[in-house]
Amino acid sequence: MNEFFHMGGYARFVWPAYALTLAIGVLNIVWARRALARACEEARRRVPIRGARP
Amino acid sequence: MSTPALHAARLVLMRDLRLAVRQRGQFVQPLAFFAIVTMLFPLSISPELARLREIAAGVLWVAALLASLLALEFLFRDDAHDGTLEQYALSGQSLTWLVFAKTTAHWLLTGVPLALMAPLAGVSLGVPYAALPGIIAPIALGTLVLSLIGAIGAALTLGVRRSGVLLTLLTLPLAMPVLIFGAQATDLAIRGVSFAAPLYLLSAMAVLGVTLAPLAAAAAVRISLE
Amino acid sequence: MTWTWFHRLASPPHVYALATRLTPWVAWPAAVLILAGLYGGLVLAPPDYQQGDGFRIIYVHASSGWMSLMVYVTMATSAAVGLIWRMKIAHAVAASCAPIGASFTLAALVTGSLWGRPMWGTYWEWDPRLTSELILLFLYLGYMALRSAIDEVHRADRASALLAVVGVVNVPIIHYSVLWWNSLHQAPSVMKLAKPEMPPAMLLPLLLMLAGFTLFFLSLLLVRLRGEILRRERSASWIREALAG
């Protein structure tokens, strides 16, 4: 197990690389979902509610 | 009665040149900027000519690049403002040729003077006289490519507020190969070595730019005028 | 063969519904493939005889690099489709691609830097591949900056589409730079049509990762696409039903 984390001495390069990529992956998921939520919000406000006729 | 595209292009070119003569101040700005920027390096790094000579190629090219970007802002600005650009687009003439004419005028008014002024700056940075052709030719070609590529960015950002920084951001990535090979050519010239290879590459970029960039710039103008 | 399926792709409500339904079908396989690739690459694959365990960065670095290029090509292609055939959907796709591509280009640059330090002694070199990948990042950022600077959505679509198409010339430069110039970055080891140089135990997890990341991109694209479609459909009646559901 320890050998795994040690990565043959390269641990301080390998693990930050993986951590960063994971972080960017998660960021993309959060970002995309938030963008969709915001677009739904705006669309709800733009489109007249059911029954209300100008 | 229709005018052949080349004739219309020549008319636009002459118009731009004539207008520039009346607004000389505008075209002095990039040159002054270039002079000031190149002056900053001996002041901030070292007055020793030997040391300055090492970085002279980079300094000259970065200053020329920034001065050209500064000048790009008024490529389309006035014509877009008073509706002339719209008239060009509606005229039924080939907008590509008209844009090419404007870009050529722009280069003759900014790029060529820069290329002619650069040797002075170069000498102040310790560049040997024998290397001066290695400054003039690459910068002349490089600024041509910059005007061509920059026209695309300038057209895309017409009427956008605070477009200066955006224009820089859009044009620089596309202009980096010009900087890389241009600076390489000047550097080789300063070392007294043949700079033919990068000069050929710059020429190739110029040919590519002349054939393709005006098309893209004309399309960009139409998009911005919609 | 009927072309109705293609024509329906131009219809925003249809694409919106399709994107909503497809997302889980793409997202879950992506997760499985990536996890399998990670296990194969981090645990099962033997250490490299030259680079030891350090070579394992390839699984995130090559994946990020692949993403940065593939996403740009997708963005430029849909931009071109949008410009030529004037399909709003295509512009919506292009807009969705940019943030994804930009972030993975950053990942590629940083993971590459972390790989470079122990292997070649330097965090950064101005060699052609690294320089052109950096240029790619600026192209993405410029695209996003142009979009946000133009208020009117349709003009923003067309202007940024033109920019994307002009910038696509950078992609083959990035890809072939390692062949055209002999410099720091290593030569291609996966894309060679002759026998690949990597042993299967190392190659297979990499292929799994590349496939997984591709599906991951698709799932992100589908989510963002829905939002972009909504932004381009002003007060259309189908939106009411779509949002109520």
Q: Give the CA distances from residue B198 to residues B110, B116, B137, B190, in Å, rounded to whole numbers and listed in that order.
A: 22, 20, 11, 14
Cα(first)–Cα(last) distance of chain A, in Å? 68
Residue C193 CA, chain-centre distance (Å), reads 23
Q: Which of B30-34, C6-10, C37-41, C224-228 has the lowest mean pLDDT?
A: C6-10
Give the C-alpha distances (Å, rounded to integers) separating C38 from B134, C133, C215: 53, 25, 15
Q: Which chains border A (3 or more CB–CB pairs < 8 Å)?
A: C
State mean pLDDT over C205-219. Answer: 96
Q: Residue A36: which of C64, C104, C224 has the nearest Cβ?
A: C224
The pTM of the full predicted model, rounded to 2 decimals, is: 0.89
Residues of A contacting chain C (CB within 8 angstroms): 4, 6-10, 13-14, 16-18, 20-21, 24-25, 27-29, 31-33, 35-36, 38-40, 42-44, 46-48, 50
**Above pLDDT 70, what percent of chain C?**
90
String of b and e for B11-43 (b: at least 16 CB within 10 Å)? ebbeebeeebeeeeebbeebbebbbebbeebbe
Assess whether pLDDT exceeds 80 at residue C230: yes
Size of interface B-C (CB pairs under 8 A): 54
Does B have 3 or more CB contacts under 8 Å with A? no
Query: B175-188 pLDDT, tens per residue?
Result: 988 998 999 999 99
Lowest mean pLDDT of B138-147, C142-151, C170-179, name the range.
C170-179
Residues of B in contact with C171 (CB under 8 A): none
- Per-residue pLDDT averaged across C67-79, rounded? 96
Does C60 sit within 8 Å of A18, measured CB to CB? Answer: yes
Nearest to C84 by CA among B174, B209, B219, B210: B219
Task: Answer whether C223 sits within 8 Å of A47, measured CB to CB.
Answer: no
The 3-class SS string of chain C reads CCCHHHHHCCCHHHHHHHHHHHHHHHHHHHHHHHHHHHHHHHHHCCCECCCEHHHHHHHHHHHHHHHHHHHHHHHHHHHHHHHHHCCHHHHHHHHHHHHHHHHHHHHHHHHHHHHHHHHHCCCCCCCHHHHHHHHHHHHHHHHHHHHHHCCCHHHHHHHHHHHHHHHCCHHHHHHHHHHHCCCCCCCCCCCCCCCCCCCHHHHHHHHHHHHHHHHHHHHHHHHHHHHHHHHHCCCCHHHHHHHHC
Closest CA to C12 of C88, C82, C107, C97: C88
Our CA-based measurement puts residue C8 at a distance from the nearest CA of chain A, in whole angstroms, of: 22
Is the CB of residue C164 less than 8 Å away from at least one CB of chain B? no
Inter-chain residue contact C230 with A40, CB threshold 8 Å:
yes
Question: Is B189 in contact with B129 (CB distance < 8 Å)?
Answer: no
CA B97, CA B110: separation in Å to the nearest integer?
20
Tell me the pLDDT tens digit for each residue of B60-101: 999 999 999 999 988 999 898 889 999 999 988 899 999 999
**Pick from A14, A21, A33: which is nearest to C107 by CB?**
A21
What is the ipTM score, two decimals?
A: 0.88
Instruction: Calculate how close chain C gets to A51, using CA atoms only, in Å.
Output: 11
CB atoms within 10 A of CB A50: 9
Residue type, B135: I
pLDDT at C195 over 50: no
Taking CA–CA distances from A23, the nearest residue in chain C reads C107
Specify the residue for token string 């939520």. A37
Residue range C44-62, pLDDT digits in tens: 888 887 878 888 899 999 9
Write down the pLDDT at residue B93: 87
Chains C and B touching, counted as 3 or more CB pairs less than 8 Å apart: yes
What whole-number distance in Å separates Cα of residue B35 and Cα of residue B32? 5
Q: Which of C8, C7, C12 is nearest to C236 (CA)?
A: C12
Considering only alpha carbons, which residue of chain B is nearest residue C166?
B216
Domain boundaries, chain B: 5-225
